[in-house]
């Protein structure tokens, strides 16, 4: 299957996600690799094959392809690592924490006790908002 994994990143540097090395799963429009600096064991990145920065610029087909691989990898990580939960996250833009300008979805397995208090989950990107009052 043909893929577009060669487009360079900005500033003339090669995109670390456009190399075929490290791909662990793929479909026609997207692929998966494990994060080189994982938050937890099994932390996977799901990416479109086409190089672009903004998640909201994905075609409907690319959305479907990426999210199909999220499900595939969830099942694989569950079978291999037996996590207690997952965080799924996407950083869009520098001010949201995106550091590599090739769209990627983080699939982060979570394990009981990996943090003292997981309440608030992805709300932790703004620490003061993570522990909101119970209703």
Instruction: Kindly state whether residue 105 falls inside one of the protein's structural domains.
Output: no
pLDDT at 64: 98
pLDDT at 128: 81
Q: Which two tokens stand for residue 103?
A: 């769209």
Instruction: Kindly state whether residue 119 falls inside one of the protein's structural domains.
Output: no
Instruction: Kindly state whether residue 63 falls inside one of the protein's structural domains.
Output: yes
Tally helices (H) and strands (E) across the chain: 1, 5
Q: Is 59 left (phi over 0), alpha (psi -120 to 50) or beta?
A: beta
pLDDT at 9: 46
pLDDT at 2: 38
Instruction: Kindly state whether residue 115 falls inside one of the protein's structural domains.
Output: no
pLDDT at 12: 65
Instruction: Kindly state whether residue 19 falls inside one of the protein's structural domains.
Output: yes
Residues marked as catalytic: 104
Residues of the domain holding 67: 1-96
Give the domain CATH number at 64.
3.30.428.10
pLDDT along the chain (135 residues), means of 10: 42 85 97 97 98 98 98 98 98 96 98 92 83 75
Q: What angle do CA 104, 76, 35 make, to 5 degrees?
A: 35
Instruction: Kindly state whether residue 10 falls inside one of the protein's structural domains.
Output: yes
- Per the structure, the count of domains in the chain is 1
Instruction: Kindly state whether residue 64 falls inside one of the protein's structural domains.
Output: yes
Pairing relation of β-strands 44-48 and 105-110? antiparallel
SS (H, E, C) 59-102: CHHHHHHHHHHHHHHHHHHHHHHCCCEEEEECCCCHHHCCCCCC
Instruction: Kindly state whether residue 30 falls inside one of the protein's structural domains.
Output: yes
């Amino acid at each position: 299957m043909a893929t577009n994994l060669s487009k360079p990143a900005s500033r003339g540097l090669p995109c670390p996600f456009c190399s075929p090395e490290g791909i662990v799963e793929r479909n026609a429009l997207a692929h998966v690799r494990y994060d080189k600096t994982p938050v937890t064991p099994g932390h996977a990145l799901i990416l479109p094959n086409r190089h672009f920065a903004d998640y909201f610029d994905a075609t409907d087909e690319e959305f479907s392809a990426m999210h199909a691989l999220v499900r595939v990898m969830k099942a694989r990580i569950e079978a291999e690592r037996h996590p207690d939960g997952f965080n799924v996250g996407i950083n869009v833009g520098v001010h949201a924490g995106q550091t590599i300008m090739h769209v990627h979805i983080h699939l982060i397995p979570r394990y009981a006790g990996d943090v003292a208090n997981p309440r608030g989950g992805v709300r932790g990107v703004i620490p003061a908002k993570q522990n909101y009052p119970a209703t």
